[in-house]
């Protein structure tokens, strides 16, 4: 185990499991260097099914160089509909070739537009919009260019196998992109929201410049911070300074200017709600993800196992309906590892039938007991939040759940060129696997 990159430690990923040197190199010189294909679990009705009963058109879309949110905005604009009528199961990276499902409500197949660098196929109709997690997993095929030490991949694999007594595995961290790769502040916004600090949430997003972003945006954010610190902030001037490509920041500043906001929390909540509903949820989700990462890092630091429970852990069982060859946790089927059950649950975990979990904190989250529970409660106390704090208005509310703390990618490594191929269950991050192998700046993953 070795200390992680400083940018990763900002989002709770404090360690690499592997002590071995990384292969180095770099990713995504071209979108085709990073390919992602969703492992689907949606069974649609035919395209000619009754649109009254099945109002959502299911699309399979292959995107080259598109951010998922940006594509959703583009297709809704082309169709002349609200973006709220476009949904998807998983957010994908812009610098990749991705194949994924979308639903569009109230649209006929003949209405679909042609969009640059997007192959859009209508595959059927469904009765509800896709939600995050409505997929079994993702298959990845990733090329590493100009590796410094391609032979180091074998040493990393050996370390990952030693982590779980023979089968390569990594902690199921939330990857850097969950928080903003170049400017990881999404979780900071979310923590402010959870603590009821609406003003702090807006300023963490609109202001709060980062060294890793361009001079123009740093200057604009610093100007917004200066206005916020004044007795009579002029949000109109801050709006003038903010670059037009920072649309969400501009939307918030516009609402602050509209309300002539100073300190009233209601004004700042109104400003934060200027962004789309999925981004509002993402703020709180990122806070939950940060806390989850902190729990995993503390478990690593203490040397607790990840592949089998200790007394006090909460274990979930495998999803019986997962596609063949992919082991998927079913977090709705849980059992506490009490002293008299821990040995039985260890055997289930050893056979791949169950998984140790950690909390994604919300109002109904079940915390562990014993040492795992001490870790969870200690992280919450350190950031000053409580499960009850997640009883929030509108799209910010979250009841919470639990998540497996380990993922076992069956990584296939090939040379000349160096490639990594593997599959992961829904919600797990390819960069969490690749960071162990490359050990490079997370901005380059």
Catalytically annotated residues: 93
- How many CB atoms are closer than 10 A to CB 378? 12
Cα gap 51→335, rounded to integer Å: 41
Token readout for 271 is 């400003």
Given a contact cutoff of 8 angstroms between Cβ atoms, the answer to whether 316 and 330 are in contact is yes
Token readout for 244 is 């037009």
Cα gap 202→280, rounded to integer Å: 11
- How many CB atoms are closer than 10 A to CB 151? 10
Vertex 124: Cα angle to 119 and 125 (nearest 5): 125
Cα gap 91→107, rounded to integer Å: 22
197 contact partners, CB below 8 Å, separation of at least 6? none
Q: What is the DSSP letter of 113?
A: P
Phi and psi at residue 34, to the nearest 5°: -135, 105
Q: Quick check: helix, strand or coil at residue 171?
A: strand
Q: CA–CA distance from 208 to each of 74, 144, 184, 185, 255 (Å)? A: 29, 33, 11, 9, 18
Helix (H) or strand (E) holding 152: helix 152-163
Place of tokens 């400017």: 183
Cα gap 11→14, rounded to integer Å: 8
Closest C-alpha to 258, from 249, 268, 247: 268
Cα gap 6→184, rounded to integer Å: 12
Cα gap 118→444, rounded to integer Å: 25
Closest C-alpha to 353, from 296, 410, 300, 308: 308
Longest dimension (CA), the chain: 65
């Amino acid at each position: 185990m070795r200390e992680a990159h400083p940018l990763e430690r900002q989002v709770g990923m404090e360690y690499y499991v592997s002590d071995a040197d990384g292969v180095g190199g770099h990713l995504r010189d071209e979108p085709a260097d990073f390919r992602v294909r969703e492992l689907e679990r949606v069974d649609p009705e035919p395209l000619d099914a009754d649109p009254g009963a099945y109002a959502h058109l299911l699309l399979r879309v292959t995107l080259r160089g598109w951010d998922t949110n940006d594509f959703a905005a583009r297709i809704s604009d082309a169709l002349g509909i609200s973006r709220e009528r476009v949904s998807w199961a998983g957010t994908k990276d812009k610098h990749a070739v991705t194949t994924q499902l979308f639903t569009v409500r109230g649209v006929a197949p003949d209405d679909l537009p042609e969009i640059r660098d997007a192959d859009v196929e209508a595959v059927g109709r469904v009765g509800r919009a896709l939600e995050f997690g409505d997929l079994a997993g993702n298959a990845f095929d990733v090329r590493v260019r100009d590796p410094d030490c391609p032979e180091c991949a074998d040493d990393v694999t050996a370390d990952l196998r030693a982590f779980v007594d023979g089968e390569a595995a990594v902690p199921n961290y939330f990857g850097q992109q969950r928080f903003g790769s170049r400017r990881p502040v999404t979780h900071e916004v979310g923590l402010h929201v959870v603590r009821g600090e609406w003003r702090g949430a807006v300023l963490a997003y609109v202001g709060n410049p980062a060294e890793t972003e361009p001079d123009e945006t740093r200057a604009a954010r610093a100007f917004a911070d200066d206005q916020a610190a004044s007795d009579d902030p002029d949000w109109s001037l801050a709006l003038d300074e903010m670059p037009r490509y920072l649309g969400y920041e501009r939307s918030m500043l516009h609402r602050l200017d509209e309300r002539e906001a100073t300190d009233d929390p209601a004004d700042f909540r109104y400003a934060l709600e200027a962004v789309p509903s999925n981004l509002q949820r993402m703020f709180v989700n990122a806070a939950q993800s940060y806390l989850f990462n902190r729990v995993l890092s503390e478990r690593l630091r203490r040397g607790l196992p990840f592949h089998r429970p200790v007394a006090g852990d909460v274990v979930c069982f495998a999803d019986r309906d997962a596609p063949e060859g992919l082991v998927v946790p079913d977090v709705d089927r849980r059992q506490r590892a009490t002293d008299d059950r821990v040995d039985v649950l260890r055997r289930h975990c050893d056979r791949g039938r169950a998984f140790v979990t950690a909390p994604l904190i919300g109002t109904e989250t079940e915390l562990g007991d014993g040492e795992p529970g001490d870790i969870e409660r200690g992280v919450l106390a350190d950031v000053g939040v409580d499960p009850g704090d997640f009883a929030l208005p509108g799209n910010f509310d979250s009841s919470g759940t639990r998540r497996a703390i380990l993922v076992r990618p069956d990584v296939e490594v090939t040379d000349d060129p160096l490639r990594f191929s593997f599959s992961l269950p829904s919600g797990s991050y390819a960069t969490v696997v690749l960071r162990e192998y490359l050990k490079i700046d997370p901005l380059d993953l």
